[in-house]
Structure 1
């Protein structure tokens, strides 16, 4: 059991943030069978294929199933509400070598030598491009919806309402937050820094905490609605959108409920590969698609702007 005590200042400084870097770390635990593999089976199958031929053992060696802790330098809590991966990796790259050595030495399960921060950041970046980036707009929508919901709960009902349905392992008791941690037994004050709440797509069904000095105390928890994350949600474009984009480009947007290649889209739509390629190039130039190279394939995915347009 982990018990976090709050002062009035701690409640005032409690905030939310997203962490692309944490999604990388938690997704490694999914691929290694510790977290929600059945829940994320659709993603797991695609990510496994996209990671084929890429050596990401440097990351896997540091994120071990069953470990009591994950080294802090691998995924430090975000310092801003909406960091991008580059900003988080800049913190990783700046980690002193002696800190990395201390944190690795403190975890007996890690038997590999301490990695260079730059090498680790490079592996994370490639892993992200292959396994997470094509799905990030979908994941980000889930995280945004959770934060909006939690913020309303905090505003209307205070801390007790905020934490009431966060996770079965978490509950509010007067001025304390109690977390049923199978591997942690401690009482901690928040030191006037408040609690950083980080919703996560891949952490289900567990919660993870950070209470070591030097970082804002952090709780990473499953985002609300994660069970529907990978469900098909293809929508039909509006008549107005077809009028602006044309039927072919609007159709391609609807087909990209999950990332796909030019060849895949041509087979689905009956359009020629050349025609699909031209449409995708135009949609990407307009900021409606992103592209990600995986091996010899280039996969296209809808951006957050495209998702908004399809729902108007």
Structure 2
């Protein structure tokens, strides 16, 4: 059997060439594929029970045409993963995608479709500006209906995965971290090598680097972005995804509360962004002295880190705290 590999070539020993990001657009596209083939995604059944019946039909049909049910889908939908990517930024970016990129990517989808669906995609190519607006509008509608209610849980899992990978780099180096991403991924000399079903290529990432992006909805395999002009990207399955991942945030806080106490759980859950002691106290409805006491316990436990910013001390979850939150979620 033929074996296909994509090699992302990097400068030797260049730690800065590999970085992590998240992609709301990638999660949305794969969530729409899950909805088209729910039987093949048992880990998403908890989420599916909550989302069925509230999807905007026209928006879903448009996305189903554009992304299909498996394999390649347009790069412009997922081409800017970064650590600080947010759903709002992703939505705004989609409205500014160059029209030539939309035409180029949709032409590839024409080759991967047939019949009525192929004709509908050709119609989209004929009016790229209107198509960009339609896809952006549909994406926002689908996001609000399908993923916005569970984005806090999704984001916790994604960031917890990244935190664990970052710790593995410190303990085992780049090669050890890369080799643990997925069974199809390995470190090969000066390259990150990914085994794929239908595609082979060699990408020179020197000067651009490689972005590694965990995914909850992306299934059990890896996908890549390799087109010229697009940031080289490897999407891989996130750790810690179970059929219960879409639990309500209150249930997550309750589970953590049983472990570390209700107040400290509340502080830990909201510590994804750096805050002063006063801000933590205000958000949790506590006296500053009480908040300081709980922060000290979380800091001594390695779950929260304190850093000085001028006269201020800022508190934020550590990788261990991220992993704990992700596991509870």
TM-score, structure 2 normalization: 0.67
Say if 1:241 and 1:150 are closer, same or farther in 2 by CA, change over 3 A.
closer
Counterpart CA distance in 1 for 2:166 and 2:231 is 19
Say if 1:179 and 1:53 are closer, same or farther in 2 by CA, change over 3 A.
closer
C-alpha contact (below 8 Å) 2:30/2:217 kept by paired residues: yes
Residue pairs, 1:20-169, within 5 angstroms:
20-33=24-37, 37-51=41-55, 53=57, 55-67=59-71, 69-78=72-81, 80-107=82-109, 108-110=111-113, 111=118, 112=121, 113-114=123-124, 116-169=131-184
Q: Is 1:196 matched with 2:211?
A: yes
* Residues 257-293 of structure 1, C-alpha deviations (whole Å, 9 max, x = no match): xxxxxxxxxxxxxxxxxxxxxxxxxxxxx799xxxxx
Gaps spanning 5+ residues in structure 1: where?
A: 246-285, 289-303
3-state SS of 1:130 partner = helix
3-state SS of 1:49 partner = coil
Say if 1:231 and 1:134 are closer, same or farther in 2 by CA, change over 3 A.
closer
Q: Cα distance, 1:160 vs. partner?
A: 1.0
3-state SS of 2:42 partner = coil
C-alpha contact (below 8 Å) 2:33/2:70 kept by paired residues: no
Q: Cα distance, 1:9 vs. partner?
A: 7.2
Specify which of 17, 20, 23 is matched with residue 16 of structure 1. 20
Q: Cα distance, 1:65 vs. partner?
A: 1.8
Q: Cα distance, 1:30 vs. partner?
A: 1.4
Gaps spanning 5+ residues in structure 2: where?
A: 267-282, 286-316, 318-323
Say if 1:105 and 1:96 are closer, same or farther in 2 by CA, change over 3 A.
same
3-state SS of 1:106 partner = helix
3-state SS of 2:221 partner = coil
CA-atom RMSD, angstroms?
Answer: 3.0
Q: Cα distance, 1:191 vs. partner?
A: 3.2
3-state SS of 1:213 partner = coil
Counterpart CA distance in 2 for 1:52 and 1:142 is 27
Say if 1:187 and 1:92 are closer, same or farther in 2 by CA, change over 3 A.
same
Q: Is 1:173 matched with 2:191?
A: no
Counterpart CA distance in 2 for 1:73 and 1:287 is 40
Q: Cα distance, 1:122 vs. partner?
A: 0.9
Q: Cα distance, 1:11 vs. partner?
A: 3.6
3-state SS of 2:236 partner = strand
Q: Normalized per residue, which structure has more helix?
A: 2
Counterpart CA distance in 2 for 1:137 and 1:180 is 32
Counterpart CA distance in 2 for 1:75 and 1:211 is 12
C-alpha contact (below 8 Å) 1:29/1:35 kept by paired residues: no
C-alpha contact (below 8 Å) 1:16/1:198 kept by paired residues: yes
- Counterpart in the other structure of 1:217: 232
C-alpha contact (below 8 Å) 1:10/1:192 kept by paired residues: no
C-alpha contact (below 8 Å) 2:7/2:191 kept by paired residues: yes
Runs of 4+ in 1 over 6 A off after TM superposition: none
* Residues 211-270 of structure 1, C-alpha deviations (whole Å, 9 max, x = no match): 11212210111111113653765526579859xx9xxxxxxxxxxxxxxxxxxxxxxxxx
